[in-house]
Every structure is written in structure tokens, then in C-alpha cells.
Structure 1
């Protein structure tokens, strides 16, 4: 149940969006309060009609000033060489570069005035976004990508490629990725016998990631196996945990984090993460894990819980770095 603080924060955000929406409507005098459901055929000569989570939008053939509403769309557009002019930057994970990109504030409270000031010709977001679509679509053509979980990153990448008219570039990026994954398998001949555990440190808990999410798909492409505690597909994860791609574990069942190799994803977005990690390292039960005793626990960045092609290639970099050397 949400606490009072969270409720007040959400109420504050709703009021903020309402007030900012008034500013946007006034600033865009030529627009009205109705969001068109179908583009005017007479206006589609210089744009392509895209079906998306919120209906239809006529997208410019060559958008030059893209605004994105979340880190996934930021990574996706950069991977397609369409660097956006604005994005929320709070949770952006290296190696995604944010240089020269205007910060739009909290991903759950997009600064509409700043979006307006950037004069975008396209706005991209996810269907789970809390940003007000009707107001954004008055600023510029706005597309919301259907999103359920990070394991769909390849489909989302292909969809954005279609939106931007860069489907061929998507194919090239993915071909390079699959080529690297194949090279990893060839260099690590026993990859399918190596069980890789994924642990993520949160400010208040420790989670395990199953094979349904982003990192699960990358490990599968690399030919790596998962320990039984994480060898769960989407439906199995939902049935067991109620979540789609991850679940938290307590100290009493820390053995579920074990594997032949353990990768611990450690972010820098909250100071408490390091406190939880330090506590974990001093836990006697953690010290008894096979991977810990064998010295095969590796700390990696939050891009292991990423959502796109840039993060996927960064994960492959780590797999080559930490695992291939062990087979030499």
C-alpha cells in the first residue's frame, strides 16, 4: 500500500501536469484540446503514419529534434544515430552518453515547459509512461511504444526503427550483435554448461533476474545457462513471484543466488546500494556460495539490467572480459 508521502507526491505531480498543461495549451494557440485519432490524408505527404499504443500518428520522414521520455527510448535513438535533444537523465546508465542532451527532469514528472522550449519535431515514449500524451501530442507528433517488460527490447528496437525510417539500420546493429554473441560461444566452448546467476542490488533489497527479461535474452543469445532459481520464463516468473522478470530474496534463501558464475549489478543512483552490497559481502551465508568460494563473482554496472542494443553489447564486453579468459 502506498504511504502518505507517496500519495502526496503523486497528487503533487498530477497538479503540476495540469498547470503545465494550461501553459502548453496557451503557448500553442493554433492547437485545440482534441487529440486527433487519424491524421488528415492531406497532411501525410511529408510524414509516415504510425500505429502505436495511443492510436495513429503521422511522423516526419526525417525528424531532427527528437525528445524522448525515458532511458530506453534514449538508448534506442542513440543506437540508431538519432541523438535526441531532450530526455530525463536521472536513470541513464553508462555507456549511454548524455552529452549535449537537455535534462527533462524526473521520468515520472516530465517538464512540459522544457519540452515545448526544445521545439521537438517528434516525441517518443513508452506505453507505461505517466507523461500526459494529449498535451505532448499538441507540442509535436508523439508516439508511445507498447511495453510490458525489458525482454521485449528487440521488438521495441525494431518498432522504433520503423518509426524513424531506419529499419535497415536496426538490422545492421542486430546482425553485429548476433555476430559477437556467436563469437563468444565459439571462444567459450562450454558456455551452455556454465550457469550464470544475475543478482541486482537495490537500496532496500536483493533481487534475482530470470531469463524473461533483457539480461536473460542476452545470456541466452550468448549460449549461457541459468541456475534453476532463475531458469524461469515469463509465465513461470509471474506465477512464482507476481513480477515478470525478477524477484527479491531474503538472507535465509541467499543460496538461490548461487551459480557457476555470479554477476552482481550495482548501480550508482542511490547511496544505499553500496550499503546493501557491503552488508551482503559480510554475510556468512553469502561467503558459503560456490561462486564466492571459487572467486567467480563479478560486479558490473546497471546496464546489465538495460533495455537496448548499446547495453546488450556492453554485457557481451563483460562476458568476453570475465568468462572467455577463464577458458584460455
Structure 2
């Protein structure tokens, strides 16, 4: 009797569990059927605000030091040269050597640009402090270039590689994504240079020769068409030539130290002369200079280094108009 009473509740529990399992299976089957009847939807991902092509933020530029990856739109540029070209493109760097900060031809654009030290010997510490995202340099020395490239991506364009305003503006226009600005600036440049050249061509004979000199306390130098002191305005923009006897030499070397004894051998019909210590009247009274035909005929133009040294596109344009006004007698 006791055994029977013990078995009865056991089987009752088993039967109850079996019923519950059947009910649960039925519910699950119904849920599956209901679920399969619903449409499956995939929520569209939110539109990303990030650029789809990350590589568009940078580009590779081939240089004498190999390929360099730079920002397509750099915001913090340090340059030890080519300042005038950047300003012509409406690009204002954050740092440049003190010598460039004295450039009178675009003084109004220099506010806020930091001095990075002496020209040709910039302070790498100062450059690093400025946190540039691009460095533009004319430095060709491997050691100095490597120091600069550790501070930021560095583009080296050695001095003389870009030979005129067109090459300079087109190169940096493409480098910095400012092609439209370069085209517009050069169109105005060409127009104004043509006007200046027309004045000169009407005023003097086509075969009149020109020489570019610099007179310092220690020596006299003669210059070619791509080394400042008026070479670009006279020989490139105005299309004038040096005496044939010296043309090949100075155009190849670009500058040469000469003695006063051979001064007459290099002097053209017109002389553009840089001197920080002497004036036009001083040269008219000088026993050597006053023997030159250019001095005798008032074909000598004397200016200071602060105006003749610079050879950027903005300076060259201003110098061209200045010299054209003098030559044409305006």
C-alpha cells in the first residue's frame, strides 16, 4: 500500500511535465511560423561624414630625394625660399627666414609670419616648434634635408631649378592645388611685362646691350639672368642681352667676381648696378667707373640690395616696371 501511494504522485508529475513540454513546443512552432511571415529588413547605415577616399587627403610628389607624401591642402607651411611665389598664389606660410621678411615688394602680406632664422641657416628647433604640415626648401644638402624631413614632409626644389616666373608659379600651383590662381596671376604678369617691354623697345635700339653688376666693399660681381640684382627683369622679362663677348660665360656661371681692371670688358651700353654704399653721383665721380660709356651717357641705374636682391615673381614684376620706367625716361 505504501509503495502504491508513492508511485501514483510520481507518474502524475511525469504526465504533467509531458503536457508542459508539448505546450512549449507548440508555442515555439507558432512563433517560428509567425516570424517567418514577417518581411526581413536591413537598416541603411548612417551616412558617414568622413571622406570616402582617405588617400585624397594626401598625394605623392616626386622630388630629387624620392617620392614624398604631402597634404593636398597643407595649412601650416614653412619655407626657406619661394616666399613670393606662395604669396602670389594667396598662400601665406607660417615661417620663413628673416631675409625674406624684409622683402619690400610684398611687405603687407608678411604680418604674422614667424622668423625661422638666417637665410641658408634656418633654425630646425624653431621649425619644429611651428609644427608645420609641409616644408618647402631650396636646400640640396642631404644632411640638412634629412633634418627638415623629420619635422614634416619636405619638398626640395634646388635654387636655379625653376628658371622664371612661369616655371615657379606653375610648379607651386600644381603642388598646392592652386592651378587657377597661378593661371590668373601669370596672365596679369604677362600683360604688365608686355607693356613694360613695349615702352623699352620704343625708347632704345634693339641691339643696346645691358650688364648687371654688384659693387661691394670687397669685390665687383657680374650676373646672369637668374641670380637676382635685376637679371630676371632685364634679360628675361625685357628680353635684353649682355655684350656678346661675355654672354655665354655669365649665362652659364650666373655670377662671377671680376677686378676693376677688366670692368670695361664686361660693361654694356646700359648698366644696372647694386650698391649699398655708393650713389649715382659717386660713380660719376669715380676715376674708373666714369670712364665707361654707360656712365658717361647717363645709362647707369643704381639701387640698393634691398630692392635688387629678390628674384621672386612679385619682385621681378615690380623691378621690370621700375627699370622700364627709367629706361624709357618716364
TM-score by length of 2: 0.71
- Is 1:111 the counterpart of 2:126? The answer is no
Match of 2:218 among 193, 201, 204: 204
- 1:36 alignment counterpart: none
Partners of 2:113 and 2:240 lie apart in 1 by 36
**Which of the two has higher C-alpha Rg?**
2
- 1:223 alignment counterpart: 239
- 2:28 alignment counterpart: none
Alpha-carbon offset, residue 287 of structure 1: 0.7
Cα RMSD between the aligned structures? 2.9
- 1:135 alignment counterpart: 147
Match of 2:265 among 239, 256, 268: 256
Partners of 1:312 and 1:177 lie apart in 2 by 10
Cα pair 2:220 2:260 within 8 Å, conserved = no
- 2:7 alignment counterpart: none
- 2:57 alignment counterpart: 46
Deviation per residue, 1:12-69 (Å, 9 max, x gap):
xxxxxxxxxxxxxxxxxxxxxxxxxxxxxx9633012111121122221222211012
SS in 1 for 2:288: helix
Partners of 1:256 and 1:175 lie apart in 2 by 38
Cα pair 1:86 1:102 within 8 Å, conserved = yes
Aligned residue pairs: how many?
270
- Is 1:94 the counterpart of 2:104? The answer is yes
Cα pair 1:204 1:276 within 8 Å, conserved = no
Instruction: List gaps (5 residues or longer) in structure 2.
Output: 1-52
Match of 1:168 among 149, 170, 180: 180
Alpha-carbon offset, residue 105 of structure 1: 0.9
- 1:14 alignment counterpart: none
Instruction: List gaps (5 residues or longer) in structure 1.
Output: 1-41, 267-272
- 2:88 alignment counterpart: 79
Deviation per residue, 1:250-284 (Å, 9 max, x gap):
11112134333211123xxxxxx517999866531
Alpha-carbon offset, residue 183 of structure 1: 1.2
